Structure 1
Amino acid sequence: MEKWKDVSAEHWQNWRWQLKHRLNSIEDLEDFIDLSPEERQGLRAPHHFRVDITPYFAQLMDPTDVNCPIRRQVIPLGRELQPFEGMMADSLAEEAQSPVPGLVHRYPDRVLLVVTPHCASYCRYCTRSRLVGDFHQSLSLEALEAQLSYLRNHPEIRDVLISGGDPLTLSDDALDHLLRQLRAIDHLEIIRIGSRVPIFLPQRITPELCQRLRQFHPLWINIHSNHPKELTDEVALALARLADAGIPLGNQSVLLAGINDSVEVQRQLVHKLVKHRVRPYYLYQCDLVAGAGHFRTSIAKGLEIISNLQGYTSGYAVPKYVVDAPGGGGKVVVAPQTLLEERPNHQVVLRTYRGDPVIYQEPADGY
């Protein structure tokens, strides 16, 4: 692309260079894309959270298409500031379920750690838009020690999800230190990382990083990809490096109006993910977070998509469709209705993926 034609390959492939040269203003963006009036309005508006786009992700944008699924996710629109019914600042009530700063304990045997407020780029529908993007904030050693102390004192916790912000924006040494501290807690069975870095900043997934990560198995990573156009050759290399390091990969998507709310886009996405050794894990209903009203779809739309994936593609390629319950109730799986009738003669009527009724005969003793 003309804007970066003089950038050396060495710089372009350097993840720190990418972070240093992120775009966040009208002046940055109008050099290479035709900004719409509403995009200009959104960029001028006072934001409730930060705008930052890596050069790598920016060059994937269609410069003339205002509905480009890449730019729709990261360039704010004026309508972002419009309130909507049900809108909440902390729609998942994470702060109410945070016994120590940066730790959310919602489920009995697992916790979420917020280890940084920083991301490589910022999704405009972000659930934690109230927290992320503040460059004056960072996780202090005291806050980390409070999190670790809580984990040590709660032996029922067997699973830790490291989140943020994006934990893969931390340095190799910082990640190594964090993972080493967690691995020293005997009752922690698995560690998970949630990250959009492989999509926004695939240059970050270096052989050196993967060598560090592979020391801490069982370690799982869920990436966040919403559209097949995001799965470039650079992303494929990053995912291959992680998978080759023995890290099981999953994907969490958000259902976004006008971006991926069609059966065909979702089918292309899950097929490409599986090809790259990433299992589609969750398809999230968009949360009731401020700024995300124009991204929201009906739940019926999500069910339509799942109904047209189940049976029509590999089972490994069909994600669970979930609503993260407002108010902190946790994830609720929403699935097409397949149990049609329970009969008194121990027969159950089920619906196949083609919509045909079938009868299953249950054992008479009920077991």
Structure 2
Amino acid sequence: ILSGGDPLLISPRRLDRVLGRLDAIGHVGVVRLHSRVPVADPGRVSPDLAATLRRADTAVWMSVHTNHPRELTQHAAAAIARLVDAGVPVVSQTVLLRGVNDDPAVLEALFRRLVRLRVKPYYLHHPDAAPGTAHFRLSLAEGQAIAGALRGRVSGLCQPTYVLDIPGGHGKVPVGPCHARRDPEGAGWTIADPAGGLHSYPDDAGPSECD
């Protein structure tokens, strides 16, 4: 993973050298680049840069960080198209932010637009507890409610995984709403549909991971 600063801020020639060194490592088969350049400075995504990311032996994936549909301007769409047309698979990552995109309708518009641009929404991040960002944070329960509302609004292709980066460097875990609950009697399950309706499912395959 090439991230934090932004790997697309270096020149295509220098990036080619970096990727060339990674190509030479036998066990490295996939490289993922994380960037806001396609939406923040789309002119930097030149045909030369897109060609640099198309490798013979290493699969290079691009993860575009975008948080609101207004970021997906005509110029951003053209930059993403240059990547996809060059054979670079593109996914997206979004941070759930109070006052920015903490609304199912806003996220729906963002994810639908991304899919139309041939970008798979990958992660919806619960905001980290970073200093100075308290005004952007919302509770996990609020985030789960928003993620659950998306389930009934958009197709599976538009659905990112709602994740929490566990403080202390313990990794990311899915924290989306659980739609299946074990019945107290142990004879089956109660399944919640996207509209909130509850349905019985007679199955006895084991305990629920959501319990």
TM-score normalised per structure 2: 0.91
Asked whether the 8 Å contact 2:35–2:62 carries over to 1, the reply is yes
Structural mapping, 1:64-103, within 5 Å: none
Structural mapping, 1:257-272, within 5 Å: 257-272=98-113
Determine which of 1, 7, 13 is the counterpart of 1:173: 13
Deviations 1:10-42 (A, max 9, x none): xxxxxxxxxxxxxxxxxxxxxxxxxxxxxxxxx
Q: CA RMSD of the aligned region, Å?
A: 1.8
Secondary structure of 1:162's aligned partner:
coil
AA aligned to 1:344 is G
1-structure distance, mates of 2:41, 2:205:
57
Structure 2 counterpart of 1:344: 186
1-structure distance, mates of 2:68, 2:139:
19
Structure 1 counterpart of 2:52: 212
Q: Which has the larger radius of gyration?
A: 1
Secondary structure of 1:309's aligned partner:
helix
Structure 2 counterpart of 1:162: 2
Percentage of identical aligned residues? 42
1-structure distance, mates of 2:112, 2:106:
10
AA aligned to 1:295 is F
AA aligned to 1:360 is Y
AA aligned to 2:117 is H
2-structure distance, mates of 1:299, 1:283:
12
Task: Say yes or no: does 1:185 pair with 2:25.
Answer: yes
2-structure distance, mates of 1:307, 1:257:
17
Deviations 1:48-86 (A, max 9, x none): xxxxxxxxxxxxxxxxxxxxxxxxxxxxxxxxxxxxxxx
AA aligned to 1:261 is D
- With over 3 angstroms needed to count, the CA separation of the structure-2 counterparts of 1:174 and 1:338, relative to structure 1, is same
Structure 2 counterpart of 1:254: 95
CA deviation after TM superposition for structure 1 residue 358, in Å: 2.2
AA aligned to 1:330 is G
Structure 2 counterpart of 1:11: none
1-structure distance, mates of 2:132, 2:30:
34
2-structure distance, mates of 1:230, 1:357:
37
Gaps of 5+ in 2: none
Gaps of 5+ in 1: 1-160
Secondary structure of 2:132's aligned partner:
coil
Structure 2 counterpart of 1:231: 72
1-structure distance, mates of 2:179, 2:32:
32
- With over 3 angstroms needed to count, the CA separation of the structure-2 counterparts of 1:190 and 1:344, relative to structure 1, is same
- With over 3 angstroms needed to count, the CA separation of the structure-2 counterparts of 1:236 and 1:344, relative to structure 1, is same
1-structure distance, mates of 2:199, 2:169:
38
CA deviation after TM superposition for structure 1 residue 365, in Å: 10
Secondary structure of 1:294's aligned partner:
helix
AA aligned to 2:186 is P
1-structure distance, mates of 2:148, 2:79:
31
CA deviation after TM superposition for structure 1 residue 192, in Å: 0.5
Q: Count the aligned residue pairs.
A: 205
AA aligned to 2:112 is H
1-structure distance, mates of 2:205, 2:60:
44
Task: Say yes or no: does 1:287 pair with 2:128.
Answer: yes
